[in-house]
């Protein structure tokens, strides 16, 4: 289980991004982290996977633990060895290398090296599109295929916890639906998923539990099916309201009502 308690993160010791975030991800679950731009979602993902130091960020308070072991002070390689993998926002595949070479690089960690062949086959079974393009340069793949490759590459290390940072960003709706299935599929094979998303519809759909992060704080959380029925969530995140043109008065009310969130 991933448990984060009162996590505070600052960049360059002055830019405070997370102000005491607590959340839990049960083993085997899909948990979504939802929030607008700049809420600190990616920062939280980095704090878990150990990428903060690269961005001159550091945990200034609180704890992060995977199972009963604290992750604080471990580098990304140690966390990867513990079974934590992250698919970064923007796919970030190795564009000058072929699809297959990307997968090999993904399986370069010590514990993964002996499973290289099996896992490559698994990846191709899961994404037949990648199998067709295994010798192609990854930079020439379409956006959707690149995202498949990024997920397949992260799975090469055989992670127990997979963090997906905005996997559907900038992709066509059909690809988004496909990835929805992929997430469920990955989860059904026993991998815990922490899904960081802006797309509320998708996040609420595939996850069991959802946290809503705004301005560095968790402002709301609950079972995804319940949140979907919540009138505030419907209004602010799903864009559902009673229809008709809105008056300025209503918009003002919107701002007033949104205060409960912060």
Partner 1 sequence: MTQFAELTIAGLALGAIYSLIAVGFVMVYRSSGLLNFAQGEFATLGAFLMTTFAAWAVLPWPVALLLTVLVMMAVGMGIERVIMRKLLGRPPFIGSIVTIFVGFLLSVAVLWIYGSSTRAMPTPWDPVKIVEVGGVEFTLTNLVTILVAIVLIGTLAFVMQRTPMGMAMRAVADDQEAAFALGIPVERLLGLTWGIAASLGAVAGVFLAMFPRSATVAMGLLAFRAFPAVIIGGLESPVGAIIGGSALGLLQVHGEYYVNPHLGDFGIGFHLVLAFIVMIAFLMIKPHGLFGTKELERV
Give how far the C-alpha of residue 252 lies from the chain's centroid of Cα atoms, to the nearest Å: 33
Nearer to partner 1, 88 or 212 (CB): 88
What is the spatial distance between Cα 256 and Cα 186, in angstroms, rounded to a whole number?
40
Nearer to partner 1, 59 or 104 (CB): 104
The DSSP call for residue 247 is P
Other CB atoms closer than 10 Å to residue 255's CB: what's the count? 8
- To partner 1, the closest distance from the beta carbon of 53 in angstroms equals 7
Nearer to partner 1, 153 or 220 (CB): 153
- To partner 1, the closest distance from the beta carbon of 119 in angstroms equals 13
Nearer to partner 1, 97 or 219 (CB): 97
From the list 106-114, 120-128, 212-220, 247-255, the region that binds partner 1 by CB under 8 A is 106-114
Give yes or no for residue 11 binding partner 1 (CB under 8 A). Answer: no
Cα distance from N-terminal residue to C-terminal residue, the chain: 27
- To partner 1, the closest distance from the beta carbon of 188 in angstroms equals 23
- To partner 1, the closest distance from the beta carbon of 104 in angstroms equals 5
Letters for 66-85 (x = contact with partner 1 by CB under 8 A, - = none) are: ----------xx-xxx---x
Taking a C-beta distance cutoff of 8 angstroms, is the pair 133, 145 a contact?
yes
Taking a C-beta distance cutoff of 8 angstroms, is the pair 258, 236 a contact?
yes
Letters for 107-146 (x = contact with partner 1 by CB under 8 A, - = none) are: xxx---x--x------------------------------
By C-alpha distance, which of 190, 125, 192, 112 is closest to 156? 112
Give how far the C-alpha of residue 260 lies from the chain's centroid of Cα atoms, to the nearest Å: 26
Token output for 205 = 């759909």
181 in helix, strand or coil? helix
229 in helix, strand or coil? helix
By C-alpha distance, which of 183, 19, 11 is closest to 87? 183
What is the spatial distance between Cα 61 and Cα 52, in angstroms, rounded to a whole number?
14
- To partner 1, the closest distance from the beta carbon of 191 in angstroms equals 15
Nearer to partner 1, 29 or 97 (CB): 97
- To partner 1, the closest distance from the beta carbon of 92 in angstroms equals 4
Give yes or no for residue 97 binding partner 1 (CB under 8 A). Answer: yes
Q: Which of 49, 146, 187, 199 is close enough to bind partner 1 by CB under 8 A? A: 49
Q: What Å distances lie between residue 233 and 96, 200, 257, CA to CA? A: 42, 9, 12
- To partner 1, the closest distance from the beta carbon of 232 in angstroms equals 34
Contact residues: partner 1, CB under 8 A: 49-51, 53-54, 56, 76-77, 79-81, 85-88, 92-97, 101-102, 104-109, 113, 116, 153-154, 156-157
């Amino acid at each position: 289980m991933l448990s984060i308690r009162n996590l505070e993160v600052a960049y360059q010791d002055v830019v405070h991004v997370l102000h005491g975030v607590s959340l839990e991800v049960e083993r085997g679950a899909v948990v979504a982290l939802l929030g607008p731009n700049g809420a600190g979602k990616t920062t939280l993902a980095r704090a878990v996977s150990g990428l903060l130091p690269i961005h001159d960020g550091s945990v200034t308070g609180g704890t992060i633990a995977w199972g009963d072991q604290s992750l604080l002070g471990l580098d990304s390689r140690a966390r990867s060895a513990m079974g934590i993998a992250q698919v970064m926002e923007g796919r970030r595949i190795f564009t000058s290398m072929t699809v297959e070479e990307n997968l090999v690089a993904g399986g370069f960690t010590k514990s993964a090296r002996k499973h290289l062949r099996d896992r490559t086959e698994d990846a191709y079974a899961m994404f037949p599109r990648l199998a067709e393009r295994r010798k192609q340069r990854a930079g020439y793949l379409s956006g959707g295929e690149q995202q498949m490759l990024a997920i397949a590459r992260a799975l090469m290390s055989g992670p127990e916890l997979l963090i997906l940072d905005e996997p559907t960003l900038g992709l066509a709706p059909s690809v988004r639906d496909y990835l929805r299935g992929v997430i469920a599929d990955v989860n059904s094979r026993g991998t815990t998923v922490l899904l960081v998303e802006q797309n509320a519809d998708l996040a609420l759909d595939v996850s069991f539990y959802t946290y809503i992060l705004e301005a560095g704080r968790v402002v709301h959380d609950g079972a995804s099916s319940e949140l979907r029925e919540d009138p505030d969530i419907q209004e602010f995140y799903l864009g559902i309201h009673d229809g008709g043109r809105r008056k300025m008065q209503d918009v003002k009310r919107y701002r007033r009502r949104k205060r409960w969130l912060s």
